[in-house]
Amino acid sequence: MKLKVYEYKNCSTCRNALKYLDSKKIEFEKKAIRETPPTKAELKKMLSYLGGDSKRLFNTSGGDYKELGLKDKLAKMSLDEQFELLSQNGNLVKRPFVLGEGFGLVGFKEEEWKATLPKK
């Protein structure tokens, strides 16, 4: 499975993550997160990699998150409701959102990526 990277071109964190992947010569498939958000199945898979903490799937600093008042609503929502929301609005998803064979990453922390990504 080729690495799948959901990203937003105007996001500096995403640009840094893509530069990192390029520097390590890691092949990946780029997906525009706003136009094609992760599917519910991909969100469920990522949640398993994040130890079940669904809040880590959300871009909590984003405007849509704040506008929807999710800080107060999230705890009362079912996982299915959260997955529905995330799969319909890529602005709500923490980015970059990266799925590989047997692992997933959200956000970009170089040390975490170094430890997780397959070595070339």
Residue 120 scores a pLDDT above 70: no
Q: How confident is the model at residue 3 (pLDDT cuts 50, 70, 90)?
A: very high
Could you read off the pLDDT of 44-64 as tens digits, one per residue?
A: 999 999 999 999 999 999 999
Tell me the mean pLDDT in the region 81-108: 97
Residue 15, beta-bridge partner list: none
DSSP 14-39: HHHHHHHHHHTT--EEEEETTTSPPP
The β-bridge partners of 99 are 4, 104
Give the per-residue pLDDT at 1. 63
Cβ 46 vs Cβ 97: under 8 Å:
yes
Distance CA 65, CA 118 (A): 32
Annotated domain spans of the chain: 3-116
Q: pLDDT value at position 119?
A: 77
> Is domain 3-116 given the CATH code 3.40.50.880 in the classification?
no
Mean pLDDT across the stretch 98-110?
96
